[in-house]
Amino acid sequence: MKKLDAIHQQLNKQPAGTTAGELAKQLDLDRSTVSRYLNQLVKQGLAEKIAGRPVLYRPTQPEAPFPMQAAHSGIADLLKEALAALLYPPHGLPILLTGETGVGKTHMAQTLVQVATEAGHLSPGTPFITFNCAEYAQNPELLLAQLFGVRKGAFTGAVEDKPGLVERADRGILFLDEIHRLPPSGQEMLFSLMDQGSFRRLGETHAERTVAIRLIGATTEAPDAALLPTLMRRFSVKLTIPPLRERPPQERARLLSTFLKEEETQMGVPLTVTEECRARFLSYPCPGNIGQLKSDIQIACARAFLRQLGHRKDQVIVTINDLPTHLRQQGPVTTAIASRLKQVPSDNIYEQLLHRHALLSQQGATPLEMERELQETVNSYIRRLVTSFKPGDSQESEPPLDPQLLQLLEQTLSPWRDKLPQAAQPFPLKALALHIQAFIRQPERRPSQPVLSDLPVLPLHKKLARQIGRALEEHYRLRLPEYELDLIALFFSLDGQTDPAKQRCIATVCLTGEGAASTLESWLAKRLPPADSDVVVRSAQIDPFTRRSPGLEQLRETYDLIAIVGTVPPALTDIPYFPAWELYQPEGFRKLAHHLAKTRKPQSVQESEIPLTPERVPELILQGLLDTITHYNPKRLVRLIEQEAPRFRELFDWTPEREMGMWMHLGIYMDQLLAAQLHRTQAKVSSQSPPAPKPPTAHLTLWEGFLQQLEQDMGVRFPPAAAHELARLSAETTNRSISS
């Protein structure tokens, strides 16, 4: 037995969990070896790792697609009836499964075998052969050869004797999907096999072969019309699996949870679905049944995963914009679900936040709007707690505060009273104590899913929250989760008035608010100096014609907007602007770092600009793309650009800055297209600009030729409108913005 199998087998004997050291002693193996194999089992989903001291491992049982105990009564009854037929002596009764496309006929067959094997009715090595008759339906001769085997010389191309799937399934189970696609001759051969247990390979005339198989067929057609009467009569048990629309809501909810868990395992990071998305998955018609539901979930999860590449990797959040088109366009969710979404609990802050987030997602709120609304939700919650204590009021709150908890918080906050005004005020302190007390005493009120990452927490407040968390852990032996620490931190930023100055912010700008701006946002966040850890980086959309941006105005109102980074400057002239091409070189980033240092002081010093000439453009493009793109070698693109740049420069009369911006735009655009092609999704490259007239023929011809060359040399596929859009952007005057 392999070591991995031996460790898995031993682990299964200890469902409560054990340590790597204990398993090593039991199996007489090295502890590091056992630990390595245990982590491999965890990755395969066969074991679960429980954090602590020491780390525990325990076995997990994979959930069957239709577990008998969890399925609703209708499916459970079908499963029991099918299981009885499959196990009927001596070789089972033939079973025919019918139902619409995607209802789960294949899953039913797989579950039958799984349940029978786990119950000990079938040995673990029992053959289970599956075959979709539709795969060779256009070539009946080849279809029958695959199924029954072929004798050498039976037809052109049959150069040797070859057994079929029927022989491979001997003493096991043969599952034939789309069985109605068998030609009449094949149905007659199958009838003979079911009736007498014998068959002949294609081309054989005398020798008969015998097998003992259990047969399961499946069809989406009406069997009376699709199968020969003789074959139809031979199926002793006929079961129709109902479509998803005829099953209770609990069944779809269970399937949704199962499929989301599968996608979460594939991603390797926690997966969260907004309440509005979950409601749409549970309410839309879904004519393709379980198959379509699973496919739609996979599409949404893939889009969410791709959107968050390069951003935070600790979770993936599926929002309305990630859903397939038919789900986004279905309109509001059903009245019952919508009313449930609008019922915001008055006393559970976690449910308030999750419900508020779902509604904002449904309304298409921007990240900044989301942040503001969630902060106000927390502020309202804190105010309600604060107003429960009145100055000079001798009455205690209901429930009464734990004096030890209040004393613990006072001691922890004492060193912070000079830095944070709230730390010296008794009523916010009591409100915080009341909140923490509820968290400790009422575990049922804690959220059942990860709480949001959109809460605007300042580093200084988070540092204080962590100190409170350590004090609570030491006193109550309770480790607070990260979302609770974030919430505690927000108690010290009520209305954003705890610090005399707003939090510093760097804005990255582009045409869509994604693309280059999103890439720059991630790039900057990883490279900010430690002394500037309080600086937040936010992306914003910019209008290519007016160069104005409501997003920038909102950022300036909310934050201390200290710098803007992009490919060309926006209309704001009072905020220092740093070109992306300049930022990617060492001296350019040092300039930004120096500017950050200055913003810690009231003084400001004018910096000298780094000159940009046409000769430096290729080198700077390469530097910039090496730090931003991931799906191709930027050196190949730069070589092609160097060859064609003079023609573009002459035709469009570009300045070096303009040329730099256009090539950076093209480079990042290509990376997005290649990423979308790789993940089989649609790249988000559309502009929200007003319609523009067709560009001059010379402009369009130049771009069409260059894009065709890129398609041949780089393997990228450009959409039909790409040349038109690039030609339009190229002809914009230099005081207008381009971006990805």
pLDDT digits over 148-194, tens only? 988 887 666 667 888 899 999 999 999 999 999 998 888 988 998 88
Position 474: which residue type? Answer: E
Supply the pLDDT for residue 152.
80
Please indicate, yes or no, whether residues 460 and 510 belong to a single structural domain of this protein: no
Supply the pLDDT for residue 31.
85
Q: Which of these three, 242, 265, 281, is where a domain ends?
A: 242
Please state the three-class secondary structure of 247-274 as a single string: CCHHHHHHHHHHHHHHHHHHHCCCEEEC
Please indicate, yes or no, whether residues 45 and 79 belong to a single structural domain of this protein: no
Q: pLDDT class for 383, splitting at 50, 70, 90?
A: low
| Residue carrying structure tokens 């590449």 | 309
Contact, 715 vs 724, CB < 8 A? no
DSSP line for 168-216: HTTTSEEEEETGGGS-HHHHHHHHHHHHHSEE--BT-SS--EE---EEE
Contact, 244 vs 100, CB < 8 A? no
CATH of the domain at 571: 3.40.50
Residue 277 reports pLDDT greater than 80: yes
Report, as an integer, the average pLDDT of 429-447: 76
Supply the pLDDT for residue 627.
64
Q: pLDDT class for 690, splitting at 50, 70, 90?
A: very low
Position 165: which residue type? Answer: L
Q: pLDDT class for 17, splitting at 50, 70, 90?
A: confident
Asked if the structure places residue 354 within a domain, the reply is no
Position 288: which residue type? Answer: G
Please indicate, yes or no, whether residues 456 and 569 belong to a single structural domain of this protein: no
DSSP line for 270-289: -EEE-HHHHHHHHHS--TTH
Find the range with the poorest average confidence among 63-72, 521-530, 643-652: 63-72
Asked if the structure places residue 736 within a domain, the reply is no
Asked if the structure places residue 703 within a domain, the reply is yes
- Residue 297 and residue 301: Cα distance in Å, rounded? 6
171: Cα separation from own chain's centroid: 43
CATH of the domain at 331: 1.10.8.60
Supply the pLDDT for residue 445.
62
Whole-angstrom CA distances from 311 to 483, 524, 670 are: 19, 11, 19
What average pLDDT is seen over the chain? Answer: 77
Supply the pLDDT for residue 434.
83
Q: What is the pLDDT of residues 119-153, one digit of tens each?
A: 888 888 899 999 999 888 778 888 888 899 888 87
Q: What is the pLDDT of residues 506-520, one digit of tens each?
A: 988 876 555 667 777
Residue 314 reports pLDDT greater than 80: no
Please indicate, yes or no, whether residues 236 and 254 belong to a single structural domain of this protein: no
Report, as an integer, the average pLDDT of 453-467: 74
Please indicate, yes or no, whether residues 84 and 224 belong to a single structural domain of this protein: yes
Q: pLDDT class for 236, splitting at 50, 70, 90?
A: confident
Residue 263's domain comprises 246-343
Supply the pLDDT for residue 272.
85
399 prior amide bond cis, ω within 30: yes
- Region of 331 on the Ramachandran plot (φ > 0 left; ψ -120 to 50 alpha; else beta): left
Please indicate, yes or no, whether residues 215 and 108 belong to a single structural domain of this protein: yes
Asked if the structure places residue 361 within a domain, the reply is no
Supply the pLDDT for residue 338.
41
Please indicate, yes or no, whether residues 299 and 381 belong to a single structural domain of this protein: no
| Nearest-10 crossing angle of helices 656-679, 722-731 | 160
Q: Which of these three, 196, 224, 242, is where a domain ends?
A: 242
Please indicate, yes or no, whether residues 377 and 466 belong to a single structural domain of this protein: yes
Write b or e for each residue in 475-506: b if 16 or more Cβ atoms lie within 10 A of its Cβ, otherwise e.
eeeeebeebbbbbbbbbbbbeeebbeeebbbb
The dihedral formed by the CA atoms of 449, 452, 453 and 457, expressed in degrees to the nearest 10 = -120
Report, as an integer, the average pLDDT of 325-330: 78
Asked if the structure places residue 139 within a domain, the reply is yes
Longest dimension (CA), the chain: 106
CATH of the domain at 40: 1.10.10.10
Please indicate, yes or no, whether residues 534 and 641 belong to a single structural domain of this protein: no
Q: Which of these three, 430, 462, 490, is where a domain ends?
A: 490
- Residue 128 and residue 325: Cα distance in Å, rounded? 38
Asked if the structure places residue 363 within a domain, the reply is no
- Residue 265 and residue 267: Cα distance in Å, rounded? 6
Supply the pLDDT for residue 66.
41
Report, as an integer, the average pLDDT of 393-401: 52
Asked if the structure places residue 144 within a domain, the reply is yes
Residue 363 reports pLDDT greater than 90: no
Asked if the structure places residue 497 within a domain, the reply is no
Please indicate, yes or no, whether residues 46 and 101 belong to a single structural domain of this protein: no
Report, as an integer, the average pLDDT of 247-261: 82
Instruction: Provide the domain count of the chain.
Output: 6
Name the H helices within 268-348.
Answer: 275-283, 289-307, 325-328, 335-342
Please indicate, yes or no, whether residues 111 and 222 belong to a single structural domain of this protein: yes
- If one counts every other C-beta atom within 10 angstroms of the C-beta of residue 63, the result is 13
The dihedral formed by the CA atoms of 688, 694, 700 and 703, expressed in degrees to the nearest 10 = 0
Q: pLDDT class for 65, splitting at 50, 70, 90?
A: very low
Please indicate, yes or no, whether residues 566 and 664 belong to a single structural domain of this protein: no
